[in-house]
Chain A
């Protein structure tokens, strides 16, 4: 390289790097533009989705819509039956999944020694959370529905959903247990508490906010679930005549009813249900956020 060229390059770079001659790189401008574009697409999508659903759906939601069941005889369309079914499924699933999930987390965190067994459990929990809901639906239909013989019923749906939300509850409980300081454990054990007594009276109460957040997230997942329920819980919409008997009858949740409305091109009703679902999801999200915040502050 001859010296003239070197000087020219040097001059050039001096000018370029000085504050006065600072120029803006074109690629920087383009990339910044792309970043802002992508972010605004994401935000506009959310606003658009919520806005459109609320604008079309809110006029549909009224007292009759919320308190009646579909009937061609009376000419009414309502979703009370589906709301009741959703409640049934959520409560039954929680009754089974919460103890199982918390138990699994306690085993992993407090009892198990690191090794193959723990790795196996953690791997399967990961796998379980990655399986799509339609596969849970197929399994639930074949196993709970046909093999065990529950058919299309709320119980089949709830058992299927149990498998689906189990990893979520296990993982959040595990996280919550991990945040309990070890000194609590040794303190309790040191003054003579047995292990189960220590878990029951010290660990679980300390980890409670985290566990509850997990349970609330699980409720959100169940309320929004559809593919796993279509072939397990069926699509019944009649109000239960018998409180416990309903468990063995078919019952479609809000999401299933929404899907059926879409299939029958009853779009207005579908948007009405969509609004109800969105409000529930919003409330659950807010509640989980609020609890998580309080939990962090207490820490």
Chain B
């Protein structure tokens, strides 16, 4: 009789709501897949035409970048090299400092000090990248200019850059990857079981020997992950180095004004048109390919370290 109070009358609308909820959640779950697929698609669609128009070899291995000249030339070899060399150098400087700071936080520092330093490092990660660029421009560049004047005094072949050169950019990048390297290495070091340390200490090793011969090797996969993530961050950084690295495309020598893959896009996109613009998208595509390589190697690394952890847990084959 009174159907509105029976459970049956509600059943229909309720199961409708339930089904709608499931559909909505599934859709938003797959949104990330859609996003990555369309980003890949659009990067390829907008990056590939220029490759064929200019010629794959001419564009990737040409060393003359003169997109606005009367007889334009679109070689991005030096731009690619700059990104590779710059990232490599930034890793070379940033990783030792980062890993040692992580060791300090995880192993050496008294707890109270570590609890002050750790949030400070996290804060370093939160500082907007343009601010790093601003400070690099106003602190590093004048210093570099002084150095440049001293080194190249009387040189007639050197093109003076006012301090906006590869070294400045590398230093800014090194600072920017520090927080990433420190945070991830520290958690990797903390995850090393304490009986590893106790065993090493009990055998008579000093604390430093324990850290460098037991703890760090045991945390190896985590530290490698940190380095790979740092590489990704360094190669993709644009705004911080766009003004610091100079404004001409050159071979990546320390005191040359250089252009990275990212800074080429940032500084030329606004006034580019036609084929020039398409080539900038090709540069974006090259950067995208680099990032995808880094990402896939990262996933593989993480998988490997998971397998290794399982092995350690099962106690089957612990690597020395």
Bound together:
yes
Q: Which residues of A contact B (CB under 8 A)?
A: 17, 25, 27-28, 31-32, 34-39, 41-43, 45-46, 49, 52-53, 99-104, 106-108, 110-112, 117, 120-121, 123-128, 130-136, 138-139, 142-143, 163, 166-167, 170, 194-196, 199, 220, 223-227, 230-231, 255, 258-259, 262-263, 267, 270-271, 274, 277-278, 281-282, 284-285, 289
Candidate in B26, B108, B207, B211 with the most chain A CB atoms within 10 angstroms:
B26
B35: chain A residues within 8 A (beta carbon): 124, 128, 163, 166
Contact of A262 with B243 in the complex, beta carbons under 8 Å: yes
Q: How far is the CA of A45 from the CA of B136 in the complex (A)?
A: 12
B80: chain A residues within 8 A (beta carbon): none
Shortest beta-carbon distance, B8 to chain A, in Å?
14
B28 CB contact (under 8 Å) in A104, A271, A278? A104
Contact of B30 with A121 in the complex, beta carbons under 8 Å: yes
Q: How far is the CA of A125 from the CA of B34 in the complex (A)?
A: 10
Give the interface segment out of B70-78, B118-126, B311-319: B118-126
Q: How far is the CA of A139 from the CA of B175 in the complex (A)?
A: 28
Known: A104-B31, A117-B30, A135-B43. 10 other contacts (CB 8 A): A36-B104, A36-B108, A39-B108, A42-B101, A103-B24, A143-B42, A166-B35, A195-B21, A255-B128, A277-B131
Shortest beta-carbon distance, B85 to chain A, in Å?
18
Contact of B239 with A52 in the complex, beta carbons under 8 Å: no
Chain B interface size, under 10 / 10 to 19 / 20 to 34 / 35 or more = 35 or more
Shortest beta-carbon distance, A171 to chain B, in Å?
11
Candidate in A17, A135, A263, A271 with the most chain B CB atoms within 10 angstroms:
A135
Known A-B contacts A166-B32, A196-B18, A259-B239; the reply to A134 vs B131 at CB < 8 A is no
Contact of B206 with A28 in the complex, beta carbons under 8 Å: yes
Contact of B28 with A99 in the complex, beta carbons under 8 Å: yes
Q: How far is the CA of A120 from the CA of B26 in the complex (A)?
A: 13
A112: chain B residues within 8 A (beta carbon): 26, 29
Contact of B29 with A104 in the complex, beta carbons under 8 Å: yes
Candidate in A138, A196, A281 with the most chain B CB atoms within 10 angstroms:
A138
A196 CB contact (under 8 Å) in B21, B42, B129? B21
Interface string of B240-261 (1 = CB under 8 A from A): 0001000000000000000000
